[in-house]
Amino acid sequence: MGRLNPAEQAKIILRSRISSPSFVFSFFSQSPDSNYSKLKYIISSSVTEACNNSVLLLGPRGCGKVAVLEIVLEELLKEHPDMISVIRLNGLLHCDNNCALKEIARQLCLEHHLMFSKMASYDDNSQFLLSMLRECGLAHKTIVFVLDEFDLFTQGKQRLLYSLLDAMQSITSQAVVVGVSCRLDADQLLEKRVRSRFSHRKLLFLPPSREDCQRLVEHILLLPTDSSLPNDYTAAFNAKLLNILADEKFKGIIDTLCYSDSSVGHLLRFLFSAICHMDMNSGFLSVKNFKSALRSMQRQPKLEALKDCSVLELYILVCMKRLEVKELELCNFNSIMKEYKSIHDTFQTSDYYARNVCLRAFEHLLERALISFEDNKGHGQSAEFRPVKLVISWHELHQGLKSHRSCPAILHKLMDREG
């Protein structure tokens, strides 16, 4: 097998970086005020000072809660190899109290090379947990309980959470409970008796800002100078990349990408796609690669549906958008027809159709799911009188009109005015 050329080697390095959460999220650990630093302090203080802690990691999906936690645990396990035991539970799998306690017992037995009994009762497993917390505390070993989908553990009587937090009140125990949830009000779901035993520490994870996204892209895509790649290729690749990052077109691409989803996971998928589009002949990334990646990333079912709409259907959609801007409380077929007639009278358009034709176009839009009824009430009513709403954004409608082969100029003018 022949030696890989520099472009292929660079592609492998960049793909491996994107696929490594520890590398990606190490970018967010550089600040002393980062959630990484705070979380590491909370857990390490339990290890070094023999105290009990509890903390919630809150934030939307894809913002790095679990990834940062894994980096912290990995580092602490290296720093204190025989002083930490990690027990992992997931609310999707273990929200039942008996099932969760049995899983804790199983993992503790596996960790400490003990015999696990599947037939043990809830009380047996509860006593086993208390004794293990006591023994680990006496041995100066911290047990870290990671409860992913924490909000699901709050359903029901919360016996598991109470048992864990109550056991941690003992001076002989040495444990940390880390809850991970995308619900920002997860701590408010706790019962009073459980909340009184919780530390009320919360770390909020937010999607990165535009500036953070720019710096994260640079962190991932700049090639290392100490790799096996030729120095002149690395220098040229990094110089071209920095020029791209400073280009206003690229900044516009990042803005468009983050408009729909600003999570780190979404950004990583975008970068992976851009690398796949990289020209192997030149061996460098270009703005065109990022544009291609953006097109492949954007899900456009609504734009595809708009391509096949008739001119009349486009008029109806624009009328609904105008009524939406006017903040009319009720929008139904009749009010749409009034707006349609108003446009015709104002601009003397040639595209004016009979009411029954408009009604068929209106029903067609309902079938295409570009508009929908406001609620499920009024099934017995005629479609003309039921309130409806647009299920397509201004941006999608504007883009759809621009790409439509027969869209009248007046609709572009009206949309630009509303924008």
Tell me if 287 sits within 8 A of 279, measured CB to CB: no
Tens-digit pLDDT profile for the chain (419 aa)?
346 788 899 999 999 999 988 888 888 777 778 899 999 999 998 888 888 899 999 998 888 899 899 999 999 999 988 889 999 999 888 878 888 889 999 999 998 888 888 888 888 888 888 888 888 888 888 999 999 999 988 887 788 888 888 888 877 888 999 999 999 888 888 888 888 888 888 999 988 888 888 889 999 999 988 888 889 999 999 999 999 999 899 888 888 888 777 888 889 999 999 999 888 888 899 999 998 888 887 666 777 778 888 999 999 999 998 888 887 766 889 999 999 999 888 888 888 889 999 999 999 998 888 888 887 766 667 778 888 888 888 878 888 888 888 888 888 888 887 65
Phi, psi (rounded to 5 degrees) for 85: -125, 125
DSSP class of residue 378 equals: -
* Angstrom distance (rounded) from CA 138 to CA 171: 10
How far apart CA 100 and CA 181 sit, in angstroms, is: 17
Is residue 259 within 8 Å of residue 253, measured between CB atoms?
A: no
Distance CA 109, CA 116 (A): 6
CB 20 within 8 A of CB 14: no
pLDDT of residue 237: 93
User: Is the four-CA dihedral 258, 264, 267, 269 of positive or negative sign?
Assistant: negative
Q: What one-letter code names the amino acid at 184? A: L
Place of tokens 């097109």: 295
The confidence score (pLDDT) of residue 261 equals 78
Q: Going from the N-terminus, what domains does the chain have, and what CATH number goes with each? A: 6-15+209-298 (no CATH), 31-204 (3.40.50.300), 303-418 (1.10.10.10)
- Asked if residue 186 lies in contact with residue 60, where contact means CB atoms within 8 angstroms, the answer is no
Tokens of 91: 């609310």
**SS3 label, residue 170:** coil
- Give me Rg for the CA atoms of the chain: 29
Of 69, 64, 72, the C-alpha closest to 265 is 64
User: By the 8 A CB rule, do 174 and 50 touch?
Assistant: yes
Q: Select from 187, 24, 181, 156 the least CA-distant residue to 89.
A: 181
Angle among Cα 69, 147, 98 to the nearest 5 degrees reads 160
Nearest residue to 180 via CA among 99, 72, 85? 72
Q: What is the pLDDT of residue 380?
A: 64
Cα 239 from Cα 244, distance rounded (Å): 9
Query: CA-CA distance, 385 to 378, in Å (whole number)?
Result: 9
Q: Would strands 201-204 and 53-58 be described as parallel, antiparallel, or unpaired? A: parallel
Nearest to 410 by CA among 341, 315, 317, 308: 315
Residue 378 confidence (pLDDT): 60
